């Protein structure tokens, strides 16, 4: 049986600066389920010219308002702004989108139950539906005062013993002298802390967070107050955590545009990697390479805060298993993340005994994947506003585009017209970057060390409050505004952060105004 607790021992694969060498070329990391039409040499040249960063800021660029190309949707003024199907979805595929939406919102129940299509919850879990974490398909929420978090939990792992049996992937890491630390799920609590349980099964514990205020002086007599979080697991129900347990908080990210990010050619992402900072700009960027359980081979990591999943389907299956305790054809352990130390959880009734085979079957998982792949990206607002244009110029001048790459062109796809050959503006390079000690969780994941995070896409970020009812940003929601999120940047982004601190207040305000227009 497979379940995501095994991920930490399988996710990493070494990539040298020169490529995969004897293990194959970069093309081996592409998404094999996408029916890609190869680009011609002339087409590749035209694309390179189109995605080259602009040098003029007196007007919006052509097509800039349509962040997702033809898949862009109208920017709505209510909380449904992130819940619309791709703007170019064919009519005959809308039913699949709506059924997938229903499964995304469905509340799962414990087994045994008369509702055979909905049983299998837990026994330990964080939420009863996907929608409970991805609020209105947007961001989760960190705890505020007495409120409980929604769509936020703690990842957990421990260092692997030096004499632990190595997987095939770890053996390869050793053979090429990769220094990625080896980790394992916590022997008692698995890969994440699940704070809820079905009747008779107590949740594993509660996440407690405390904040310490840190004042930061800005130019022009302005200042900002950052909150420094500390996390702990309180009231552990199944015994103490391991002494060397590593905890990392994670907020559920927004869902829009995932299919378009999946359709970006791997070669285009890898072309931006500069692990040795050969160009001397202070920004490196490393590719995350993860193990695909669907394909049984390494693939480029794209999804999650540390790019720990290669495809939308595997990301969805991992969330079903870890967050809800629902087995699928990808991760078929019916007890989800329950460990051998949690015998009652593993022995409890589950919902995979009928014709489904697993608690969500392949058809259901594929419908949720289709829904997730086709959540439309809202159009930009105020692209020609002078303050927005000045903010865009500041964004480029400050060096933000070193990680937040503005544009890509997706692959030509025979069977995915919604994502096929679109000029998109996600503002991410989908690479791992060292973000400094302030944001470090000190918990390795795959090739990502304890200071590295994947550059998150920025499209739609200005609609966060409208959709999710809050303005909490970063992987743990510590930033209460876009400015606070910027001020937390360190490591490779420290020089850019310093420029923001020292720039004239009017430019800083224009930068925020630009981000709010995305």
Burial of 21 (0-12, 13-18, 19+ CB in 10 A): exposed
Confidence (pLDDT) at 15: 36
User: Nearest-CA neighbor of 348 among 447, 487, 476, 201?
Assistant: 201
pLDDT, averaged across the chain: 90
Q: Model-level pTM?
A: 0.93
Domain count, the chain: 1
Concatenated DSSP letters of 379-423:
PPS-TT-HHHHHHHHHHHHHTGGGTS---EEPPEESS-TTTTT-E
Which position has the token pair 């090739």?
A: 447
- Look up residue 94 and give its two tokens: 């809308």
Kindly tell me if the per-residue pLDDT of 455 is higher than 70.
yes
pLDDT tens profile 253-307: 999 999 999 999 999 999 999 999 999 999 999 998 888 889 888 889 999 999 9
pLDDT tens profile 77-110: 999 999 999 999 999 999 999 999 999 999 999 9
Determine the distance from the C-alpha atom of residue 404 to the mean position of all C-alpha atoms in its chain, rounded to a whole number: 15
Kindly tell me if the per-residue pLDDT of 169 is higher than 60.
no
Strands (E), 51-191: 124-125, 152-159, 183-184
- List beta partners, residue 211: 229
**How far is residue 273's CA from residue 280's CA, in Å, rounded to a whole number?**
13
Determine the distance from the C-alpha atom of residue 407 to the mean position of all C-alpha atoms in its chain, rounded to a whole number: 18
Output DSSP code: residue 286.
B
Angle 376-308-138 from CA coordinates, rounded to 5°: 30
Kindly tell me if the per-residue pLDDT of 162 is higher than 80.
no
**How far is residue 273's CA from residue 480's CA, in Å, rounded to a whole number?**
30
Confidence (pLDDT) at 6: 36
User: Nearest-CA neighbor of 35 among 426, 429, 410?
Assistant: 410
pLDDT confidence tier of residue 216, bands split at 50, 70 and 90: very high
Q: How many residues does the chain have?
A: 518
Residue 370 belongs to domain spanning: 4-516
pLDDT tens profile 375-421: 999 999 999 999 999 999 999 999 999 999 999 999 999 999 999 99
pLDDT confidence tier of residue 463, bands split at 50, 70 and 90: very high
Mean pLDDT in residue range 320-325:
97
Q: Is the peptide bond before 61 cis (omega within 30 degrees of 0)?
A: no
Mean pLDDT in residue range 228-248:
95
Kindly tell me if the per-residue pLDDT of 1 is higher than 60.
no
Confidence (pLDDT) at 113: 84
pLDDT confidence tier of residue 38, bands split at 50, 70 and 90: confident
Residue 345 φ/ψ region, left for φ over 0, alpha for ψ in the -120 to 50 degree band, beta for the rest:
alpha
Neighbours of 467 (CB within 10 A): 23
């Amino acid at each position: 049986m497979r379940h995501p607790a095994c991920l930490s021992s399988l996710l990493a694969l070494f990539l040298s600066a020169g490529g995969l060498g004897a293990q194959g070329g970069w093309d081996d990391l592409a998404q094999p389920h996408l029916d890609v039409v190869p680009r011609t040499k002339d087409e590749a040249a035209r694309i390179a010219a189109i995605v080259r960063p602009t040098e003029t800021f007196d007007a919006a660029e052509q097509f800039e308002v349509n962040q997702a190309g033809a898949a862009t949707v109208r920017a709505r003024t209510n909380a449904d702004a992130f819940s619309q199907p791709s703007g170019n979805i064919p009519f005959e595929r809308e039913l699949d989108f709506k059924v997938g939406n229903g499964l995304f919102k469905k509340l799962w129940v414990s087994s045994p139950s008369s509702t055979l299509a909905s049983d299998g919850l837990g026994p330990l879990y964080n939420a009863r539906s996907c929608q409970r974490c991805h609020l209105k398909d947007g961001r989760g929420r960190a705890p505020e005062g007495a409120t409980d978090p929604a769509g936020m939990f703690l990842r957990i792992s421990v260092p692997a013993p030096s004499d632990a049996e190595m997987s095939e992937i770890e053996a390869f890491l050793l053979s090429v002298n990769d220094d990625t630390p080896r980790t394992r799920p916590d022997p008692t609590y698995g890969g994440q802390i699940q704070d809820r349980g079905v009747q008779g099964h107590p949740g594993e514990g509660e996440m407690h967070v405390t904040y310490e205020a840190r004042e930061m002086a800005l130019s022009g007599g302005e200042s900002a107050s950052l909150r420094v979080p500390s996390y702990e697991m309180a009231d552990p129900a199944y015994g103490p955590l391991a002494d060397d347990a590593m905890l990392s908080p994670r907020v559920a990210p927004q869902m829009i545009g995932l299919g378009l990010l999946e359709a970006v050619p791997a070669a285009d992402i890898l072309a931006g990697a500069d692990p040795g900072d050969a160009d001397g700009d202070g920004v490196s960027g490393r590719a995350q390479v993860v193990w695909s359980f669907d394909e049984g081979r390494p693939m480029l990591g794209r999804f999650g805060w540390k790019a720990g999943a290669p495809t939308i389907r595997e990301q969805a299956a991992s969330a079903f298993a870890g967050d809800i305790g629902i087995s699928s054809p990808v991760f078929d352990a019916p007890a989800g993340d329950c460990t051998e130390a949690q015998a009652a959880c593993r022995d409890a009734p589950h919902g995979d005994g009928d014709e489904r085979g697993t608690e969500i079957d392949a058809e259901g998982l594929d419908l949720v994947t289709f829904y997730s792949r086709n959540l439309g990206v809202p159009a930009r607002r105020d692209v020609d506003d002078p303050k927005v244009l000045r903010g865009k110029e500041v964004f480029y001048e400050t060096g933000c585009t070193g990680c937040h790459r503005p544009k890509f062109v997706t692959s030509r796809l025979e069977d995915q017209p919604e994502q096929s050959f679109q000029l998109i503006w996600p503002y991410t390079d989908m690479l791992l970057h060292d973000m400094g000690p302030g944001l470090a969780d000190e918990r390795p994941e795959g090739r990502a060390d304890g200071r590295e995070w994947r550059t998150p896409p920025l499209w739609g970020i200005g609609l966060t409050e409208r959709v999710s009812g809050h303005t909490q940003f970063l992987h743990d929601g510590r930033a209460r505004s876009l400015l606070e999120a910027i001020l937390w940047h360190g490591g490779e982004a420290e020089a850019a952060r310093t420029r923001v601190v020292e720039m004239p207040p009017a430019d800083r305000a224009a930068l925020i105004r630009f981000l709010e227009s995305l």
